[in-house]
């Protein structure tokens, strides 16, 4: 809603006339100056949407911090999951697989309004482009992605805050093929070839949509301010509202 207001040294009300050529004519006078006042109308989403946040597993950065490996902390970028993080992602995978089995034909069923049942009915799966987040998504939600034939969507606004002295929040790979290759290669390095071929970690090459990560999706150098982070998160929520 846009209101045309006129302000002066005293309270003045004036009419706005539209000429024949479509031009707006404002009353003139020594005490009058036009001003546009914009009012934002409340715009609630047509339907209620529920957002589930899954924290990525422990990373090599967390491991290096606990072991005081300063070189890894300051020189490495975009740390992948550690062995502990892979185990955490596999625990999520087991929970999701059990929920799908219980919800399917012949299962004992899930409570109608249980968080797990609602999670399994998700319409979209988003992931931060950071390697540890993508690995957690591919491993932890693999049963859901496979059964529902869902495509992981990379959202650059879902990445964590960036700090100038912390390379952990800066990316390395760009585009779906390179990011998937990095995620799977780093996973194999951590767990070894034998476990990488196990049932829980095999066939992780799920479809990934990377429109937002086809060019550099992180910033170089500067730290992200609180205002910048807030704006980015607001944009992420807006994307969620607009998602079908």
> Which H or E run contains 115?
helix 115-120
For the ranges 8-22, 35-49, 109-123, 172-186, the one whose mean pLDDT is highest: 172-186
Q: Write down the pLDDT at residue 93.
A: 96
Cβ atoms < 10 Å from Cβ of 134? 30
Between 42-46, 69-73, 99-103, 107-111, the lowest mean confidence (pLDDT) is in 42-46
Average confidence (pLDDT) over 153-167? 85
- Average pLDDT for 23-47: 56
Q: Which of 225, 50, 221 is nearest to 120 (CA)?
A: 50
For residue 219, the model assigns a pLDDT of 82
Band of the pLDDT at 56, cuts 50, 70, 90? very high
pTM of the model: 0.77
Query: Is the pLDDT reported for residue 233 higher than 50?
Result: yes
């Amino acid at each position: 809603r846009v209101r045309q207001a006129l302000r002066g040294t005293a309270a003045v009300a004036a009419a706005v006339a539209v000429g024949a050529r479509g031009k707006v004519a404002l009353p003139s006078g020594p005490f009058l100056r036009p001003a546009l006042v914009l009012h934002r109308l409340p715009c609630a989403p047509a339907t209620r949407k529920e957002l589930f946040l899954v924290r990525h597993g422990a990373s090599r950065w967390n491991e290096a911090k606990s072991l005081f490996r300063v070189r890894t902390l300051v020189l490495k970028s975009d740390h992948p999951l550690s062995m502990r993080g892979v185990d955490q992602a596999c625990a999520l995978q087991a929970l999701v697989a059990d929920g799908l089995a219980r919800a399917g034909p012949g299962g004992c069923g899930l409570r109608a309004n249980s968080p797990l049942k609602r999670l399994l009915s998700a319409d979209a799966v988003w992931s931060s482009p950071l390697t540890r987040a993508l690995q957690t998504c591919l491993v932890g939600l693999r049963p859901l992605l496979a059964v529902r034939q869902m495509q992981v969507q990379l959202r650059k606004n879902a990445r964590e805050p960036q700090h100038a002295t912390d390379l952990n929040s800066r990316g390395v790979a760009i585009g779906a093929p390179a990011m998937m290759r990095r995620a799977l290669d780093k996973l194999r390095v951590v767990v070894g070839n034998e476990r990488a071929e196990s049932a829980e970690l095999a066939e992780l090459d799920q479809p990934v949509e990377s429109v937002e990560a086809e060019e550099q999706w992180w910033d170089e150098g500067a730290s992200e301010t609180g205002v910048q982070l807030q704006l980015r998160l607001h944009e992420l929520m807006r994307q969620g509202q607009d998602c079908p």
